[in-house]
A and B are shown apart, each in its own frame.
Chain A
C-alpha cells in the first residue's frame, strides 16, 4: 500500500475517534458509554499501528499493543466488572440541554483547529492534520467531565482525555520517548485501581454514584 493511502486511512480513523468523542459526550446509558470508550481505544490503537508502519518507528507498535491491552481490554473489563458488581448497568443519566452541549463541543473542535494551526504549519509529518483532532478529543473529554455528574461517567471522560493526549503525542511527534509512554501507561493503570476503590467508597457512603449528592464542601458564608 502506498504511503498516501495509509495516510488517508489514518485520517479516517482520526475522524472515527472524533466521532466516538461526540458519542461519549451525548450517550446517557452507562453501559453504552463503556462500549463507545472501548471502540475509541481500538481506533486509537489501529491508528497508532498505522503511523508506526508508515514512519518506521517500531516503538509505536509496542505503544499500539499497550493501548490495545490497557484501554480496549483491561480498563473496560475492570469497568464492566465494577458496573456489574455495583449493579448500575441499567442506570441512565439525566442530561438536559443536549443541543447546547453538542454546540459547545463543535465550538471546541473549531477552537482546537485554531490553536494547533502553528503546529500544522511547522510540522512535516504525515499525521500533522490529525493534531487538531487530538486536542479536540482532550477538550471534549474535559467537557464531558464538566457536564456529567455520575462518577463512572467522569472517569470515562478522564480516560477519553488520556486517549486524546496519547493521540496528540502520536500525531505531533510520532510518539513520546518510550520511557515516558511507559510511565504514562503505568500512571493510568494505578489510576484505574484507585477509581475502582473509589466507586465502592462513594457507593458505601452516599448510596449512589451520582456526584450531585456531593455538595457538602462549599464556601460557607
Chain B
C-alpha cells in the first residue's frame, strides 16, 4: 500500500501539474507533491526498519536495506530540489528563458522523473527495472533542451541518442539474464524477479551471465557516466536547467549504479569469481583518473561539477568492484554523501550563475560579499566534495582508501592521485569565485536558504556520526552485496 502511495504521489502530482501549467502556485504544488513523496518515503523506511525487507504486490515490489536508503534519499533530494527550483525557475521565467509551455512541461516532467526513479528502486523485476530506467531518461531529455538554445538542443540530442544506445545494450544483457534464468526457474515473469534470481544465482549458467554482465555494464554504465561512456554527461549537466543538473547528478547516477550493482550480485553468485568486480574496478578507476584530469581544463562551472560527479561515481563503482565489507560500506555511504553534497553545490552554483548571468567561471567573482549564503555554501560544498574532514565524503573516501590499501595497494596510489588532482583542480577554480570584490555585473538575488543549509548540515553530521538505522541498513546491504 505504502509502495503504491510512494509511486503514485509523484505520478499524480505530474498530472496535476500538467493541468496547472504556468499558474502562480505551480512551484508550491511541486514542493507539496515532493514533500508528500518524502513523507511516504519515511513511512516506507520506518516499515523496513521495523519489519525488515518487504515483498509486495505479488512479488512485483521488493524493498530491502539497499533500495530503501536510496528511495528515501531520492524523495528527500527531490523535495529540496523542488524548494530550490521555486525561486530559480521563477527568475528564469521572468528573464524570459523559459516560456509558458516550458514551465508546465518542466513541473510535470520533474515529477514523472522522480516517479520513474522510485520505480527503478522499488521494483523486483529486472525487466521492469530496465523499463523504468529508460523512462527516467526519456522524461529528462526534453528538460535538458528546455531553454531551446542551440547548445541545449545539441546536449539533449546527445543525451537521448547516447543513453538510448547504452540502455539498449542493457536490454540485451537483460535478455541474456532471462535466458539463463529460464533454464533454472522456468519461463514466465517469475524468472525475472530479483528475489528468485538471487536465491538460485549459483545455479545460473556462468558463461551466459558473464556475457550478460558485459552488456549490462556498458548499458547501465552509460547512465552512471563511466568513462569512456560519459560523453553525454557534462553536456546534459551544463546545458539543462540547474535543478535538473542537481537531480541528474545527485539521483539518476545513483539509481543507475544501483541497477548495475543489483546485477553484479547475480553474476557473482553464478560465476563464483571476482570477474565482474574487476570489470567495475577498471571502469571506476578509469573514470576517476580521466575525470580528475578533465576537471583541470574546465571553464564552465556546471561542466566542472559534472566532471566531479563522474569522478565520484567512479569512486563508488570502484569500491563496489573491490568488494569486501569495508569497501562496500564505504561505497554505500559515498553514494549518499555525494548525492547530498553535489545537489547542494548545484543549488549554489545555480544562484551564482543567475547573479552573474553566465556560467563562465572567469566572470563569477566575490560571492562571499555579494551573497554570503551562496559564497559560503559553495565554499563548504566544495570542501565537502573534495573530501576534507569532517564532512561525510571524507569518511567514505577514507574507508574506501583503507580497503584498497589492504587489498590492492598499487591501485590505492592511483586512487590517491585522482582524488588529489580533483582536490587541487576544484580549489584552484573556486577560491577566485568566492573571494575578492563584487564585480559590476553581479545582481542581487534572494537565494533559497533551506535546501543548501539542510544538505550541508546532513553531510557534516554523516561525517561525524552515522545514525543507528543507517548503520543497520548499510550492514545488511553489505551482507547482501559482499
Binding site for B on A (CB under 8 A): 57, 115, 118-119, 122-123, 135, 138, 142, 145, 151, 154, 158, 161-162, 165, 168-169, 172-174, 176-180, 183-184, 186-187, 190-191, 194-195, 197-198, 201-202, 205-206, 211, 214, 216-217, 219-221
Chain B residue at minimal CB-CB distance from A217: B235
| A194 touching B207 in the complex, CB below 8 Å, given contacts A122-B183, A187-B134 | no
Partner of B239, one of A115, A119, A176, A217: A217
Whole-angstrom distance between the alpha carbons of A176 and B129 in the complex?
Answer: 14
Whole-angstrom distance between the alpha carbons of A14 and B297 in the complex?
Answer: 49
Whole-angstrom distance between the alpha carbons of A173 and B149 in the complex?
Answer: 45
Chain B residue at minimal CB-CB distance from A151: B157
Asked whether B96 is an interface residue with its Cβ less than 8 Å from the other chain, the reply is no
Chain B residue at minimal CB-CB distance from A172: B179
Contact B128 A179 (CB under 8 A): yes
26 of the cross-chain contacts (CB-CB < 8 Å) are: A118-B207, A119-B208, A138-B172, A142-B165, A151-B157, A154-B161, A158-B165, A165-B171, A169-B178, A176-B192, A177-B127, A177-B188, A177-B189, A179-B125, A180-B131, A180-B192, A184-B130, A187-B138, A195-B160, A201-B145, A201-B153, A205-B153, A214-B150, A214-B153, A219-B294, A220-B299
Could you tell me which residues of chain B, from 113 to 150, have a CB within 8 Å of some CB in chain A? 125, 127-128, 130-131, 134-135, 138, 141-142, 145, 148-150
Contact A214 B175 (CB under 8 A): no
| CB of B97 to closest CB in A, whole Å | 15
Whole-angstrom distance between the alpha carbons of A162 and B142 in the complex?
Answer: 21
Return the CB mask of B167-188 against A: 1 if under 8 Å, else 0.
0110110111011001100011
Asked whether B151 is an interface residue with its Cβ less than 8 Å from the other chain, the reply is yes
Asked whether B475 is an interface residue with its Cβ less than 8 Å from the other chain, the reply is no
Chain A residue at minimal CB-CB distance from B60: A179
Contact A169 B175 (CB under 8 A): yes
Whole-angstrom distance between the alpha carbons of A169 and B191 in the complex?
Answer: 14
Contact A194 B154 (CB under 8 A): no
Partner of B142, one of A115, A176, A180, A197: A197
Partner of B187, one of A123, A173, A202: A173
Contact B148 A205 (CB under 8 A): yes
Contact A176 B127 (CB under 8 A): yes
| CB of B196 to closest CB in A, whole Å | 12
Chain B residue at minimal CB-CB distance from A121: B207
Whole-angstrom distance between the alpha carbons of A186 and B168 in the complex?
Answer: 14
- 12 additional A-B pairs beyond A151-B157, A162-B168, beta carbons within 8 Å, are A57-B187, A119-B208, A119-B211, A123-B179, A174-B187, A184-B171, A198-B145, A198-B157, A205-B148, A205-B149, A217-B155, A219-B294
Report A-chain residues with C-beta under 8 Å of the C-beta of B135. Answer: 187, 190
Report B-chain residues with C-beta under 8 Å of the C-beta of A168. Answer: 172, 175
Which range holds the interface residue count of chain B? 35 or more
Contacts across chains A and B counted by CB atoms under 8 Å: 133
Report A-chain residues with C-beta under 8 Å of the C-beta of B182. Answer: 173
| CB of A124 to closest CB in B, whole Å | 9
Whole-angstrom distance between the alpha carbons of A123 and B211 in the complex?
Answer: 15
Contact A173 B165 (CB under 8 A): no
| CB of A66 to closest CB in B, whole Å | 15
Chain A residue at minimal CB-CB distance from B235: A217
Report A-chain residues with C-beta under 8 Å of the C-beta of B153. Answer: 198, 201-202, 205-206, 214
Asked whether B205 is an interface residue with its Cβ less than 8 Å from the other chain, the reply is yes
Contact B183 A186 (CB under 8 A): no
Report B-chain residues with C-beta under 8 Å of the C-beta of A122. Answer: 183, 205, 207-208
Report B-chain residues with C-beta under 8 Å of the C-beta of A184. Answer: 130-131, 134, 171
Whole-angstrom distance between the alpha carbons of A134 and B417 in the complex?
Answer: 43
Report B-chain residues with C-beta under 8 Å of the C-beta of A187. Answer: 131, 134-135, 138
Asked whether B282 is an interface residue with its Cβ less than 8 Å from the other chain, the reply is no
| CB of B365 to closest CB in A, whole Å | 20
Report A-chain residues with C-beta under 8 Å of the C-beta of B175. Answer: 165, 168-169, 172-173, 176
Report A-chain residues with C-beta under 8 Å of the C-beta of B154. Answer: 214, 216-217
Partner of A138, one of B168, B179, B207, B294: B168
Partner of B127, one of A151, A162, A179, A211: A179
Whole-angstrom distance between the alpha carbons of A186 and B128 in the complex?
Answer: 12
